Every structure is written in structure tokens, then in C-alpha cells.
Amino acid sequence: MIAVTLSACNDSDKDYTNSVSYDLGNTNGEWQSGFADYPVGGEVEWELTALENQSFTLVSGEAKTGYYLHSYNRSDDTKMYLTRQIDNLKPNTHYDVSFSLEIATNVNDQCFGIGGAPHAVTVKTGLSKQQPDLYVDEIDHYRMNIDIGNQVQEGLDGQSLGHIGESTLVDCSPDSPDYALKQFSNADRTFEVTSDEQGKLWLTFATDSGFEGPTSIYVTEFNADFVESEKDALQFEEVVDFSVAQPAVEAVFFDYPIGREFEWELTAAPLTEVADASGNTIAGYLLHSYNRSDDTGMLLNKPIKGLAANASYVADVVLSIATNVNNQCFGIGGAPHSVAVKTALSLEKPAQMLIEGDDHYRINLDIGNNFSEGNQGLVLGDIGEESLLDCNPDSNVYAIKPFNTVDLERQLNIETDERGIAYFSIMTDSGFEGPTTILFTHAAISFTKM
């Protein structure tokens, strides 16, 4: 059963869809099911099962029906998904989308076992222009052709809403016959998406398993409300406050030897707190590395949606970090503050890359090296802050240091593709042979269409 709400468009009197509501306990082939992140030929061993209109029993004894999904995650991060197309949206329109959904689960949220916790299965929802499908990668595993992220991590086409564990249940067995209903919502953080030229999108529900065992759920309801975004494709600002959770932000380390992560002390810790000289708390996303003779880089990135397709933009960046080193200190291996702070815009998602004959992880962006620049990045300054007295890069006293491109009288530039999506990156690039610890505390990027 489907409920669709329509709204009139003033300029053409056409009614467009602004809300959809689906009862997945009563379906008739409208949804397509699929599984990913398992080896080719592993369907039987992974117990992959998708059945519509299946009955289950709540702990209360009440019988209900839903769309049954089951798999046995054997050492990988198996995904299960349902998808269907939505039409009659306003064409080429950027939306903020609110999801609400309900599933039936049979595991408690406090249980643990061999291979992880039975409830360590992330629930995700998303929308994409591309129809979700599968392809086979270089190690003969099925992967999804849309980006919903990996396990708790999010992607361009998917948002994490929580896990399948339900506190009202007492059973830890993933084979329990007793189920409870659990609701999910993204009301506090809507999902951004732009409809295609025909006003269509693919709506997807997925689970992403971190539990090496069986998972059985029933999907019962799935709703989506579409509100035209307040973003103006000609000019808008994206703000990132690192004192609160930022699930869409990812960390990437680069320019260090393959297999030496432990020796380089690579650490990414969101929602970390440190103290300033007065004992006040500073919160942000902590990045730490120990640069041992190389030029180690530490990067955070976030996708920016809502840009016009195939358009030119300039962008200004405002950034603040918390640092623990003075800008006048020197030592063996260079100055502790000889770490460049950079920002970049790219169409490609920042990622580690390997180059033949090179035993180091590099970055797939042209951002230059140390204090040099590349085509995609700008140097904002270094991490040294003159108000600090300590030269020790292990100091536990921090100070805020701001940066902005306006003072530099320079801007980032980018030419978008047909997706209207860019990746905003902030990073450090070390010229100091020693430890570096910083917190990114706040970032904002303002776009202007040329």
C-alpha cells in the first residue's frame, strides 16, 4: 500500500509529490531486494533471503507482517537492501528529505558475542539518481554501485540512522523467534538530494553488518517527506561544527609507508575535548600522527551537495583549529609548527592511492607537498599559535587559531560535473619530524556561482 501526498507548483499548476508512505507488510513486487559485500557464489553459505509479506510474532504475541531480509555475515560487512523508484518529483530540484521507518528486530542492544555484537548492524536510508545495482570487484565480491558508506560510515547516497538493537528485548540470540518493533528517523539531520531531469529518484533501505553471524529483520514501514532546499545554487554557505557529531565527515591519512600505521601513531578521534591555558574546554575532531622522516598528511573531508551541475564556482573558506605549539619554536627534525594547514575542493572523493614503485600511501588530490600548493588546494598557514608558550608537541594546553581565504585574498575554484557535488577538504601537511596533534573545531565554505 502506498500513500502519496501532492503539492501544487505555482508556475505550472502541476502537482508534484512531496511525501510518500509505504506499508511493507503488504507489497506486490514493487520493491527490489539485493545483497552486497559477499563473494561471488556465496549466496547459499551467506544464507541470503528476501521474502515479501512474511509473518512474524512480537514478544506480546501479536502477529504482524513485513518484508523479510536475512543473511549470515561471514567475516565481511554484508549489506541487505530494498529499493524502489519515486517519480513525480520536481525535476532538477534540490531537496531536504526526512525519513521515518520501522523494522522488527529480534536482538537486544546490550549483547555481545564472538564475531561482534548481534545488534552491530547499521540501518541506512538514502536516495540516488542511479538505480541501485551490483557489480563484481577485483577480489570477486559483489558491491553496490551507489555509495551508502561502509558499516556505520555514511556515503553520498546513504545516511546512517542507528543499529538494529532494541532495548525492550531480553534475548541475545540472533535466531530468537520473538521480535520487537523499532522506529528510526533522521528528523534532526535531513538528507540532501537533487532529483533528475525527469523528477525521479531511487529510494533505498539498507542494513550494513558489523556482526559475523546471522541477522534477520522485517521491514514494516518506510516514509519520506520532500522539502525544497533553502540552498540557492547560485550562492550558499556550508558550515561544519566539529563540536557535534559529523557522520558525513571522513578522515584520510597519507604520505606514510605502507603497513606502518602503528609506528606513525595515526589517530582520528571525533568529539574530543582538550583544555586551553585557562582550563576551558575546546571540542573538535582530533587528528594525530608522528611524522618519521616523511611528510605525513592528515585530512578531513565532507561532500557538498546542492551545487548546480556543470557550473563554475569560487569559494571562500573560514577555518579554526586547536593547536598546542608556539610558532617560534625549533628542534631536531624541524619546527613543531612546520605543519601546513590546507584546504581543497575536488570532484573526486579524497582517498589513499598507491603508485607503482612507491611504498607509501599517497592522496588522490593535487594539493602540493608541505607548504607548496597544487591545482586543487590552498595553503592557509601553519599550526603555530603565538599565544602559546610551550614548544612541546605533546603539550596538553591548546589555543584556537583561525584561518580564512578572505585575508589571503585568494579563493578555491571548481567546475562541477553533472552530479552537482564537490568534496570539501581541510588538512595538515607536515614538515616536522615528530608528533603533531590538532583539533579541527569549525569550518565554513561559501560558494558563489560564476
Q: What is the pLDDT of residues 99-137, one digit of tens each?
A: 999 999 999 988 876 667 888 899 999 999 999 999 999
- The rounded percent of the chain whose pLDDT value lies above 90 is 82
Distance from chain centroid for Cα 140: 25
| pLDDT tier, 9 (very low <50, low <70, confident <90, very high otherwise) | very low
Amino acid 115: pLDDT = 64
pLDDT at 145 over 80: yes
Q: Per-residue pLDDT for 6 more than 90?
A: no
Q: What is the pLDDT of residue 396?
A: 94
Sequence-separated (6 or more) residues with CB below 8 Å from residue 279:
none
Residue 149 Rama label (left phi>0; alpha psi -120 to 50; beta):
left
**DSSP 8-state assignment for residue 328:** S
pLDDT band, very low/low/confident/very high, at 84 (cuts 50, 70, 90): very high
pLDDT at 171: 80
pLDDT at position 8: 45
pLDDT in tens, 363-408: 999 999 989 999 999 999 999 999 998 788 999 999 999 999 999 9
- Indicate the pLDDT class of residue 77, thresholds 50, 70 and 90: confident
Distance CA 211, CA 215 (A): 8
**Residue bearing the bigger pLDDT, 294 or 203:** 203
State the pLDDT confidence band at 173, using cuts at 50, 70 and 90. confident
Average pLDDT score, the chain? 92
Task: Considering only residues 55 and 5, tell me which one the structure prediction assigns the higher pLDDT.
Answer: 55
Q: How does residue 333 score in pLDDT terms, banded at 50, 70 and 90?
A: low
**Whole-prediction pTM:** 0.88
Cα–Cα distance for residue pair 232/244, rounded to 1 Å: 25
pLDDT at 3: 61
Q: Is the pLDDT confidence value at 63 over 50?
A: yes
CA distance 429 to 379: 10
Higher pLDDT, 170 or 53: 53
Mean pLDDT for 296-316 is 96
Mean pLDDT to the nearest integer, 209-235 = 94
pLDDT digits (tens, 9 = 90+) for 266-289: 999 999 999 999 999 999 999 999
What's the N-to-C CA distance of the chain in angstroms?
46
Kindly report which listed range (22-36, 83-97, 106-120) carries the lowest average pLDDT score.
106-120
Residue 12, SS3? coil
Q: Is 217 in contact with 92 (CB distance < 8 Å)?
A: no
pLDDT of amino acid 353: 95
pLDDT given at position 225: 97
Measured between alpha carbons, how far is residue 446 from residues 394, 418, 449 in Å?
Answer: 34, 20, 10
What pLDDT is stored for residue 260 in this prediction?
94
User: 427-442 pLDDT, tens per residue?
Assistant: 999 989 999 999 999 9
Residue 75 has a pLDDT of: 75
Instruction: Give the pLDDT of residue 332.
Output: 63
What the block records as the C-alpha cell of 74 is: 561471514
**pLDDT band at 1, cuts 50/70/90?**
low
Task: Output the pLDDT for position 120.
Answer: 86
pLDDT at 308 over 90: yes
User: pLDDT at residue 209 above 70?
Assistant: yes
In the predicted structure, residue 51 carries a pLDDT above the cut 80: yes
Percent of the residues in the chain that have a pLDDT greater than 70, as a whole number: 96
Distances (CA, A) of 156 to 331, 362, 415: 43, 23, 19
Taking 70 as the threshold, does the pLDDT of residue 139 lie above it? yes
Q: Is 73 exposed, middle or buried (0-12, 13-18, 19+ CB in 10 A)?
A: buried
Which residues 6+ apart lie within 8 Å of 13 measured at CB? none
